[in-house]
Structure 1
Amino acid sequence: MKIAVAGTGYVGLVTGVCLASKGHQVTCVDVDEKKVEKMKRGETPIYEPGLQELMAQSVKNLSFTTDYKEAYRDADVIFIGVGTPEKYDGSANLAYVYEVAKQIAQNAEKHCVVVLKSTVPIGTNDKIESYIHDKQINDVKIYVASNPEFLSQGTAVHDTLHASRIVIGVTEEYPAKVLQKVYEDFDAPKLVVERRSAEMIKYASNDFLALKISYINEIANLCEVVGADIEEVTEGMGFDGRIGNRFLKAGIGYGGSCFPKDTKALNWLANFNDNEIRTIRAAIEVNENQKFKLIKKAKKYYHDFLFLNVAILGCTFKPGTDDLREAPSLVNVPLLLEDGAHVRIWDPVGTANFKKRFPDKIQYCDSIEQAIEGADICLILTEWESVKNFEVEKFQKLMKCPIVLDGRNCYSLSAFENTKITYDSIGRKTINPNLYKEN
């Protein structure tokens, strides 16, 4: 099929490349000329494992352009994968979605199916359909369908090609048949539902996972108080098939482009409709507080951070991506700087983006060793494999004061038991807790 994809962020570009890999003729549209030129050279504008390789393999079926008029003119299917960032009040900003819808309405010259891949509030597909019909110029039939994405950054290509399910939200039979044809070579369950149900499936799924993370973080915090070990607790929980063992890893909270935005959007939508989802509101509050967990722990060892050398390992919200959105580093680093700390940051792929936000006052390091050398304390914010495989003896050897606060539980407790390192993690006992406490 001839497919156009509006937007080349994580959702749009991954969707376009994966569809091209299945033999569809795909044109990816973006307003950013520099970005388009980069993609024409075979370079991805985002860091996503496997994406650039798949782009190269699918080059015969892929094209990139800023000319939306030509792209939408005779496409069979048009996917909308533009961003829906949160507004100040927590609601979703749909300006980009409506802009694309207007472009489609004014340029489509054949019957086509418009597919909302972007995460949008329940009822948006209905509104977009009415908007397109009001704005369209040519006498063609334009259908609107919901097809939410369920990809995770860092595994987005695999999540798309090997999806757990493909949800198709429609009000008519024709767009359902078209999308089933689009996805016929994807080995995944295909669920055809009403459009509003499809929109809700996306929010309900993401928000449930966010709930699970916030719940286990609260249990971890209680484990520290009562002397239980969160990893033993979650192992015992995970054997229960009704619970499962995924999204039960304690830490300093979730981040990224989905969970924070989607929990706030659903909370806003409920309030807007004179309803309340107290569990979602609680998950948001718990997650925001959890991001400061290591700063609170650090206060056990230092009254303040004035003139301290603080090493930060990892600044992205998760490993496998250079994305900083809602990352704990974005709230922790400013606090450290305000308190007079000398901050050093190491991250294998995220420092370029972090440097755009903090161009000075921070030392950006090329290695973990450089970051921790002479440091008074170390905060682990992202569980990169390089961190997990790091020789813990080096903390003792290189740091001025080997206090390691691990926000992602990267190491076993036993690795520190015969050292002179204070190791303080999430939901577990602290190893050597009294070695370096300030008087």
Structure 2
Amino acid sequence: MNIFHSTKVEESLFKNRIRTILNLVRNRIDGSEITILKSTGITMNLRFGKIENIEFHNGSSLTVTVFNNNKTGTASSSDLSMNGIKKIIEGAISISKNTNSDPFSSLPEIELLAFKMEKIDLFYPWIFELDKVKNFLKLAEEAAFNFDKRIINTEGISFNACITTKVFGNTHNMIQAYHTSQYSLSSCVVAKDKFDMQRDYEYSYVRDMKEIQNPIWIGKKSAEKALSRLSPIKIKTIKSSVILNPDVAASIFFHFSEAIKGINVYKNSTFLLNYLGKKIFPHWLNIQEDPNLKKGIASKPFDDEGVKTKFQYIIENGILNTWLLNSYSGRRLGKLSTGNSGGIHNWKICSTLKLNFKELLKMMNSGLLITELLGSGTNLITGDFSYGAVGFWVSNGEIQYPVNEITISGNLKNLFLNIEGISNDDIDKRNSIQCGSVLVSNIQISGS
């Protein structure tokens, strides 16, 4: 059966299931919301030319949340039969009767819901054959091993394809659905010389299989990155400027997104508690959220509560414009939901400075280019951070040699204000946070 036709049939079936549930609960509770997720896909891993494993997955999940007398109950199951549906409903209602009353707990405001939603291009079904996928992986692995004789091992070449259907409904008579596709290819290899062994990886992650990186390029890039890390040199403890590569920079901005989540604000558990409307970043830095981005990795027409997503400035001219709110945290803070139940949607880190990566290196002149952080060392309450780091020492604006066994530390508030530039020619679009490399001054680096 054609995949597109199959998903449309499933969408119709799931919508009917949701209508059935709404009819069964409508006169028993104050409100309810229902989510059905269907995911179909394949994962294939190859090592030394042989398939290590192939996993097919084809599963559905149903989640029912009920609100009654300001009490909430949620139950989930993979059983979408009528008997299973009735058990889930009874489970959710039973849970709601045994929870505490909370005046902030109810469905989102009806005017915020996505009764009319944007049509976003997120669904690109691809018909694949196992032999074709296997050859695809072999090309990547062979390219890595042929790149240099010092590539002596692989941790595997992996491919993943997944088609997802999401259908959502609630007792405000909203029933909507959308479909997504995602494809990924990754290569992780090990390089060795006389004195050292290092590993590194490269990957591609897209909505449309036609846009996935060439497997030969993936293999060569993973080999090149592993080789570049061989025989690192230890550096002394100093304070220095650093450049965070796009992947590392995205992880730092993710901590910022966590710090402005409504739940952390109303619980007083964020270092940015009193910073709404205040300057956090340099005046030339903006953060836009674009949930309707075509083929965006984190695009959504509505959030996990059915609230319609919208374009918004999170940071404008360095100033914090908004918290990230679902309906519950919004009520706790006297505000409306911002459509962020379930997370963020395609953050674009924008700069009015026009710099490329080479210019960023020249600006720094001497310092550390960080390509990987180790550990989870951020305290959201204080903003303090401490991470193991891997990267390259830069002198006279040129990359000199690899560095490891170091730690960087400081406070995120200072780090944000000390951002001096962002490159615009190496923006990583594989994440929910899209940014280029980021130059930051005055970072503590602990070495030998």
TM-score, length of structure 2 as denominator length: 0.22
> Comparing both chains, which one has the higher relative contact order based on Cα–Cα distances under 8 Å and sequence gaps of 6 or more?
2
TM-score, length of structure 1 as denominator length: 0.22
- More strand per residue: 1 or 2? 2
- More helix per residue: 1 or 2? 1
